[in-house]
């Protein structure tokens, strides 16, 4: 076999350090020898041209970050490569070196995928990534509305203004008292601030409504979301968050793995003879966990089975939030088995065949 045939049958492993305007690409052979490590423009064709002159790409790795998923899809669709997304938190720990550079980062990614030690994450479909953008935008508006309300409450407290005892905050009657009586008692500058905060609430409320309308339109043909809405305690917001953050339930091996992904599993701090727990694990989506703990509180109020469990946990000395998290943990494990059962209806828009995706849950 001549040298040319040997070169083009050689297995290659790529590491791609991603930046907005350029990429650092390292190519290793099966023995770990660096064939090339150079900077390229941020586009798929440039990577394809570089790799074509050295051999056959077996695997490529790129750290998960904003924009990386679109580049991965471009490489997969154009060349059929097996591309893996690296977990950014795990890779960041591996990169802690006094000699850190784009050159060394790209080589590290290439070497990790070559030996099979790359900490990988799930690459969601484009439909799911769009859903995540909508869900997170909605949450941003909900947070903006809440923060404006808290600022108004602090403003009233600072000026020692209290509403009539029978009025609950943010009801229609309370708003009338705020905009008429309370505002009249405030200094002119403070009253102006109050008006701006109320305007922010109105704007956030309008954006929140628009986001929810767009979310309903986006998921109207999605069978997974429709199935989630049939589960006890699950309303539209909970279903949207679960669908966006979990994506496909069948990518998990068990309900326990799903609960851990959702951040509902206890964190163990055992050492020597001491065996203790230190709250919940931290590697999760904060929005997903908060939504599910809120669901746990709702289940303890409305569902007899979960109310009994919550009362038993509280009687054992657990705080209400811990009891809700425990209820959510067990509920998610049960939900997993409900969701992975084969459905008789058609597949959802996001379930198109994607054999190149990797479902590995770190930790």
d(CA 82, CA 114): 12
Give the number of residues written for the chain.
363
pLDDT at 359: 33
Q: Residues with Cβ < 8 Å from 189, sequence gap 6 or more? A: none
What homologous superfamily is domain 10-115 in, according to CATH?
A: ATPase, nucleotide binding domain (3.30.420.40)
Q: What is the pLDDT of residue 152?
A: 96
Sheet holding 83-86, edge to edge: 34-41, 22-29, 11-18, 56-63, 83-86
List CB contacts of 45: < 8 A, sequence separation 6 or more: 78
Domain ranges of the chain: 10-115, 127-218, 223-340
Q: What is the pLDDT along the chain (363 residues), one digit of tens a residue?
A: 454 555 557 899 999 999 988 999 999 999 999 999 999 999 889 999 999 889 899 999 998 888 888 888 888 888 889 898 888 877 777 777 677 788 988 999 999 999 988 888 888 888 999 999 999 999 999 999 999 999 999 999 999 999 888 889 999 999 999 999 999 999 999 999 999 999 999 999 999 999 999 999 999 999 999 999 999 999 999 999 999 999 999 989 899 999 999 999 887 655 555 555 667 877 788 999 999 999 999 999 999 999 999 999 999 988 888 899 999 999 999 999 999 987 544 455 655 444 334 333 333
The predicted structure's pLDDT at residue 208:
97
| CA pair distance 290, 296, nearest whole angstrom | 10
Select from 155, 165, 25, 143 the least CA-distant residue to 83.
25
Strands 11-18 and 22-29, how do they pair? antiparallel
The pLDDT of residue 69 is: 86
For residue 341, the model assigns a pLDDT of 81
Write the DSSP assignment of 251-292 as a string of letters. Answer: GSSSHHHHHHHTT-SEEE--BTTB--EEEE-SSS-HHHHHHH
Alpha carbon distance 230, 227 (integer Å):
5
Q: Which residue has the tokens 């309903």?
A: 216
* Predicted model pTM: 0.78
């Amino acid at each position: 076999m001549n040298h040319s045939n040997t070169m083009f049958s050689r297995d290659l492993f790529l590491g791609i350090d991603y930046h907005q305007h350029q990429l650092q690409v390292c190519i290793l052979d099966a023995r770990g020898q660096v064939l090339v490590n150079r900077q390229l423009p941020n586009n798929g064709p440039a990577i394809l041209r570089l790799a074509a002159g050295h051999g056959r790409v077996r695997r490529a790795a790129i750290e998960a970050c904003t924009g990386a998923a679109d580049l991965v899809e471009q490489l997969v669709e154009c060349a059929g490569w097996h591309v893996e997304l690296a977990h950014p938190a795990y890779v960041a720990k591996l990169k802690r070196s006094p000699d850190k550079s784009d050159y060394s980062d790209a080589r590290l990614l290439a070497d990790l995928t070559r030996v099979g030690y790359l900490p990988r994450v799930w690459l969601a479909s484009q439909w799911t990534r769009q859903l995540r953008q909508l869900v997170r935008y909605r949450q941003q508006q909900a947070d903006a509305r809440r923060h404006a309300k808290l600022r108004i409450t602090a403003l009233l407290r600072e000026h020692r203004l209290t509403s009539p005892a029978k009025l609950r905050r943010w009801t229609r009657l309370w708003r009338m008292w705020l905009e008429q009586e309370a505002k009249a008692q405030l200094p002119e500058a403070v009253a102006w601030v109050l008006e701006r905060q109320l305007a922010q609430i109105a704007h956030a409320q309008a954006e929140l409504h628009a986001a929810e309308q767009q979310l309903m339109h986006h998921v109207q043909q999605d069978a997974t979301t429709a199935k989630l809405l049939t589960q006890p305690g699950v309303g539209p917001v909970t279903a949207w968050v679960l669908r966006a953050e979990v994506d496909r339930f069948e990518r998990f091996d068990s309900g326990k793995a799903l609960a851990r992904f959702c951040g509902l599993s206890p964190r163990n701090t055992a050492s020597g003879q001491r065996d203790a727990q230190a709250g919940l694990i931290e590697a999760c989506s904060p929005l997903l966990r908060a939504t599910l703990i809120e669901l746990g509180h709702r289940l303890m109020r409305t569902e007899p089975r979960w109310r009994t469990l919550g009362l038993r946990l509280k009687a054992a000395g657990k705080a209400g939030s811990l009891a809700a998290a425990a209820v959510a943990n067990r509920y998610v494990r049960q939900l997993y088995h409900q969701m992975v059962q084969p459905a008789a209806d058609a597949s959802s828009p996001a379930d198109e065949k994607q054999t190149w995706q990797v479902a590995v849950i770190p930790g």
